[in-house]
Amino acid sequence: MTLEGLAPEPVWRHFAGLSALPRPSQGEGAVLAYLKGLFTTWGLDWSQDTVGNLVVRKPASPGRPTQPTVVLQAHVDMVGEQEPGGTHDFTRDPLTLVVDDGWVRAEGTTLGADDGVGVALILAVLEDGSLVHGPLEGLFTVDEEKDMTGAAGLDAGLLTGTILLNLDGEGAGRFQIGSAGGSTTTGRIPVSQTRTDAPQGWLVTVGGLPGGHSGVDIHRQTGNALGLAARFASEFLGTQPPGTWQLAGFSGGDKDNTIPRGALLTWAGPREPGPLVAHARAAEALWAEELGPGVTPVVTVEPVPRPEHTLTPGSQQTLLDLVSALPDGVQTRSRVVPGLVETSCNLARVRVEGGEATVVVSLRSSDPGLLRDAGRRVRSVVTLAGGTVEAAGSYPPWRPPLESRLRTLAPALWTQVTGLPAVVEVVHAGLECGFLATKLPGADLISFGPELVDIHTPRERVEIASVARVYPYLCALLEAL
């Protein structure tokens, strides 16, 4: 096993077991079966609700039955992203884990430490008969990364706990007490096509961007490949004689909560790509200057078979104008919490298929009114382009509680156990705690976890030393509660 020798051994052993199983959102069957097998082996009672969430119960340690029941919660699904040209099948293939200079990562793909490490931490607690704690309930939710249907559809009647520890945090020593709400808006516009007599097809790939989590990294302003691709196409067409180059396809983006790292533009045009290549080199230089150090945009041009159809000039212009006009990036910042992104939009996907173009924008805000306004603005732009709009995947914000024992105890104990400072914060990412707070009224909730970086990208990794700090801290917190 690649992770042999890492401490704490139970956590890394369980993480390796999870990493051998496919667990994309809405495809968690294998990992759920794996968890049920463990619970049965350990002699623990478990239940499953109609949407797939698992609840397992571990009795209190001797002498601790009167302590309040604590719910340990994590989601079992992961985001599947890989390097361009990768052939990993997230519905079938195990991850290839690598230990690299104090971190664990996966070879060429996302690691799934979000939230596989949270699941592994809970499993280590459930397995260990030597720990001191009150009654425990483990809650393993499904489909967090796509639509949060697990948390939304949770049968709260399966739980008795009044304290919930969400182990989906991403910064050791950082304790979340609030998070943004969100929704996804999909716009569809009709497009017209025409047959082309251009001699050659050309594929332009916009890449080299870091991407990232649309809730965690949106403020970094490191570029959205879809917006840059639309800009590239619009500016290029403006330099060429009408009809010389014709846009045939535009696609890019995958997950709603991932900032797109790449986009594809398919063209029909002359046999010599000189102007297109020149524009690509100019765009690379300009975007590198705009996006700053650490970002190296790459625009490639390669020949492909000539497409049979291209977009008509009118549809071509409407599509590019639509993508360019859609709100993307940070929209507002909090006036109460310094530095906190309050509202954002992530232009997540673009597809042109047949006679229709589809755009998807993921919206987040800690203010319900501003969230509705962001959706209204997306709807307005799509409507002006002659399209229709559908909103889905709504999840509520998690409002910081007025009173919370956890808010005082958890960070103070962290400093006591680790000797390191703690931070209490509200985050722009969407956490299941928004739903869970409504499902468990009156419960005390907090979120934390080890050090994860570059989640939702193939560069995702988790710091080994932080896991070694978080696990004994979690055990100490359960004893203190």
Report the sign of the C-alpha dihedral through residues 391, 393, 394, 400, in that order: negative
List the domain boundaries for the chain. Answer: 9-180+397-480, 183-395
Fold of 9-180+397-480: Aminopeptidase (3.40.630)
Task: Report the alpha-carbon angle 248-250-251, nearest 5.
Answer: 140
d(CA 311, CA 317): 9
Report pTM. 0.85
d(CA 119, CA 75): 7
The first and second tokens of residue 68, run together, are 């309040």
Identify any residues that bridge with 463 across adjacent strands, giving them in sequence order.
103
Residue 401 has pLDDT above 90, yes or no: no
How many percent of the chain have pLDDT more than 70? 100
- Longest alpha-carbon distance in the chain: 83
User: Which member of 28, 77, 137, 454 is catalytic?
Assistant: 77
The tens digit of pLDDT for each residue in 414-445 reads 999 999 999 999 999 889 999 999 999 999 99
Chain Cα centroid distance, residue 238: 36
Residue 66 has pLDDT above 90, yes or no: no
Could you say which of 3.40.50.720, 1.10.1140.10, 3.40.50.880, 3.30.70.360 is the CATH number of the domain covering 183-395?
Answer: 3.30.70.360
d(CA 443, CA 463): 31
> CA-CA distances (angstroms) from residue 174 to 113, 268, 390, 471?
17, 51, 36, 15
Can 353 be counted among the known catalytic residues? no
Residue 384 has pLDDT above 70, yes or no: yes
Identify any residues that bridge with 333 across adjacent strands, giving them in sequence order.
341
Identify any residues that bridge with 181 across adjacent strands, giving them in sequence order.
365
Q: What's the pLDDT band for 1 if we cut at 50, 70, 90?
A: low
d(CA 86, CA 385): 35
Tell me which amino acid residue 370 is: L
Tell me which amino acid residue 316 is: Q
d(CA 382, CA 322): 7
Mean pLDDT of 148-176: 96
d(CA 399, CA 429): 13
Q: What is the 3-state secondary structure (H, E, C) of the chain?
A: CCCCCCCCHHHHHHHHHHHCCCCECCCCHHHHHHHHHHHHHCCCEEEECCCCCEEEEECCCCCCCCCCCEEEEEECCECCCECCCCCCCCCCCCCCEEEECCEEEECCECCCHHHHHHHHHHHHHHHCCCCCCCCEEEEEECCCCCCCHHHHCCCHHHCCCCEEEECCCCCCCEEEEEECEEEEEEEEEECCEEECCCCEEEEEEEECCCCEECCCCHHHCCCCHHHHHHHHHHHHHCCCCCCCCEEEEEEECCCCCEECCCEEEEEEECCCCHHHHHHHHHHHHHHHHHHCCCCCCEEEEEEECCCCEEECHHHHHHHHHHHHHCCCEEEEECCCCCCCEEEEEEEEEEEEECCEEEEEEEEEECCHHHHHHHHHHHHHHHHHCCCEEEEEEEECCECCCCCCHHHHHHHHHHHHHHCCCCEEEEECCCCCHHHHHHHCCCCEEEECCCCEECCCCCCCEEEHHHHHHHHHHHHHHHHHC
Q: What's the pLDDT band for 400 if we cut at 50, 70, 90?
A: confident
Give the pLDDT of residue 288.
Answer: 97
The tens digit of pLDDT for each residue in 8-54 reads 999 999 999 999 999 999 999 999 999 999 999 999 999 999 999 99
Residue 255 has pLDDT above 90, yes or no: no
User: Which member of 114, 137, 144, 451 is catalytic?
Assistant: 144
- Cβ-count burial 52-87 (b if 16+ within 10 Å, e if not): bbbbbbbebbeeeeebebbbbbbbbbbbbbbeeeee
The angle, 0 to 180 degrees and rounded to 10, between the axes of the packed helices 368-384 and 313-325 is 170
Q: What's the pLDDT band for 2 if we cut at 50, 70, 90?
A: confident
> CA-CA distances (angstroms) from residue 451 to 18, 169, 194, 468?
19, 8, 52, 11
Q: What's the pLDDT band for 338 if we cut at 50, 70, 90?
A: confident
Can 144 be counted among the known catalytic residues? yes
Q: How many residues does the chain have?
A: 481
Bond prior to 400 in cis (omega within 30° of 0): no
Residue 164 has pLDDT above 60, yes or no: yes
The first and second tokens of residue 3, run together, are 């992770």
- Work out the mean pLDDT of the chain and round it to a whole number: 96
> CA-CA distances (angstroms) from residue 474 to 409, 449, 469, 480?
12, 9, 9, 10
The first and second tokens of residue 114, run together, are 């979000």
